Amino acid sequence: MSELVTGEAVALELRPARLPSRALAVLLDLVVAVAVYVAVTIAIVVSTASLDEAAQTALSIATFVLVLVGGPIAVETLSHGRSLGKVACGLRVVRDDGGPIRFRHALVRGLIGVIEILMTFGVVACVASFVSARGRRLGDVFAGTLVVRERIPVARTGFVPPPPPWLAGRFSGLDLSAVPDGLWLAVRQYLTRMQQLDPQVGWSMAERLASDLAGRTGVPVPQGVPPAAYLAAVVHERQSREARRAFGSGPGSSTPSAAGAPPAAEAGPAAHAASVTETPSAAGATSAVYGPPIVPPGAAVESSGGARPEKPHEVPAGDRPGTGFVPPA
């Protein structure tokens, strides 16, 4: 990625074209130009058979200059840096500041291209592209231009797993305004790729990210909550806030915190069971990877007689609902 600064002090991120794609584009342009040159030369020889040798030589030189030199210059000027070969390879010639080229840029590139491409069979252009940090040949250096890629493949965004149901609404009171965008991006990238990481490495990364996130929010990570599950729950809370801010809190999009009800971790087994059945997965169906609704740690459980015990019932670690986040062995 190359950063260019425009005249308005705006930084542009452009991808310079690599040598193989540029060589293929030049080869396509040369094939078209040579084909046109041969056709025009045959037509001129047939039509000027009665002229003397000097006149035919002058016409041949003029045809060479107009077709193989003037043709690419005219095409790049009229198309703003997109010749036939560059269009086929998804490339474009732009100025150093990211703007479209003009006639003077195309003229300098075309004249120097005769020496470094036509007369040396592209050897000088290849050497200059290898030496240059942005893959520019001599014509680009003297003209102040750069060949960039127009068609950039879009990376597929990974699926961010939902948080465990027993953590739904638990972090509704967190202040997320101090969390920078870079940390959000790192957390999202970890959640989308954690299944591809080594368990020990993934666990240490989750602990570091959870520690950084807790430091930004000012609230420590709750005891007994795996760091990966904590990250997923906080990211889900941020996404829920952004959705409510963008679309409003309608009757079908109300959450326990928005409706004034207590969080799922404090509402008892009935509300927790409802949160499990109402948590949609990415495909739109209910998530079944967390197992049966089990009361989270710290929540009170009603006895058969309707009375509550004096101490909260702690669920053993082995009986907690599955979170989808596997700790290291």
Q: What is the pLDDT of residues 157-193, one digit of tens each?
A: 566 778 888 887 788 888 888 888 888 888 888 888 8
Averaged pLDDT score across all residues of the chain = 74
pLDDT band at 300 (very low <50, low <70, confident <90, very high): very low
Cα–Cα distance measured from residue 88 to residue 217, given in angstroms and rounded to the nearest whole number: 50
What is the per-residue pLDDT for 220?
Answer: 87
**Higher-pLDDT residue of 307, 42:** 42
149: β partners:
91
Query: Mean pLDDT lowest for which of 73-82, 150-159, 247-256?
Result: 247-256
**What is the model's pLDDT at position 251?**
47
**pLDDT reading at 311 higher than 70:** no
Mean pLDDT of the region 279-308: 39
State residue 27's pLDDT score.
93
Average the pLDDT over each of 8-17, 88-97, 133-142 and give the range with the smallest value.
8-17
**Confidence at 13, pLDDT banded by 50, 70, 90:** low
Q: Are 264 and 271 in contact (CB under 8 A)?
A: yes
Residue of higher predicted confidence among 277 and 212? 212
- pLDDT, position 24: 93
pLDDT on residue 77:
93
Name the residue with higher pLDDT: 176 or 249: 176
Report how far residue 58's alpha carbon sits from residue 25's, in angstroms, rounded to the nearest whole number.
30
Which among 109-118, 215-224, 254-263, 268-277 has the top mean pLDDT?
109-118
Contact partners, residue 151, CB within 8 Å, separation at least 6: 90
Q: Which residue do the tokens 């009800």 mark?
A: 261
Report how far apart the first and last C-alpha atoms of the chain are (Å, whole number).
39
pLDDT band at 241; cut points 50, 70, 90: confident
The per-residue pLDDT for 279 is: 38
* Residue whose structure tokens are 């520019």: 136
β-strand partners of 286: 280
Give me the pLDDT at residue 246, please. Answer: 81
The letter for the amino acid at 154 is V
Average pLDDT over residues 135-147: 92
pLDDT score of 222 more than 70: yes
d(CA 142, CA 124): 14
Q: How far is CA 129 from the centre of its chain?
A: 26
Confidence of residue 74 (pLDDT cuts 50, 70, 90): very high
pLDDT at residue 145 is higher than 90: yes
Decide if pLDDT at 261 tops 60: no
* DSSP H or E run through 258: helix 256-259
For the ranges 13-17, 258-262, 319-323, the maximum mean pLDDT occurs at: 13-17
CB 94 within 8 A of CB 81: yes
pLDDT the model gives residue 39: 92
Of the pLDDT bands very low, low, confident and very high (cuts 50, 70, 90), residue 154 is low
What is the structure's pLDDT at 317?
46
Res. 221: pLDDT tops 80 = yes
